[in-house]
Amino acid sequence: MITMSDDTEGGEDFDRLCPACGIANPKEFQQCMMCDKDLTQTILFIEDDFFDLELTKTELIEYRKNYYRTRRTGKVQHFQLDEMEDIDFESPGKRLSFNYNGKREVYPLKDENYMQLKLKIMELVNK
Q: From residue 60 to residue 79, what is the string marking binding to Zn ion with x (rule CB under 5 A)?
A: --------------------
CB atoms within 10 A of CB 20: 20
**Residues 23 to 52 in contact with Zn ion, rule: CB under 5 A:** 32, 34-35, 37
Residue 23 is given by DSSP the state B
DSSP labels, 51-73:
EEEEEESSEEEEEEE-TTSSSEE
Does 17 contact Zn ion by CB under 5 A? no
Q: Tell me 81's DSSP state.
A: G
| # residues contacting Zn ion (CB under 5 A) | 7
CB of 36 vs Zn ion, minimal distance in Å: 7
CA distance 16 to 4: 11
Residue of 13, 16, 21, 115 interacting with Zn ion (CB under 5 A): 21
Q: Which residues bind Zn ion (CB under 5 A)?
A: 18, 20-21, 32, 34-35, 37
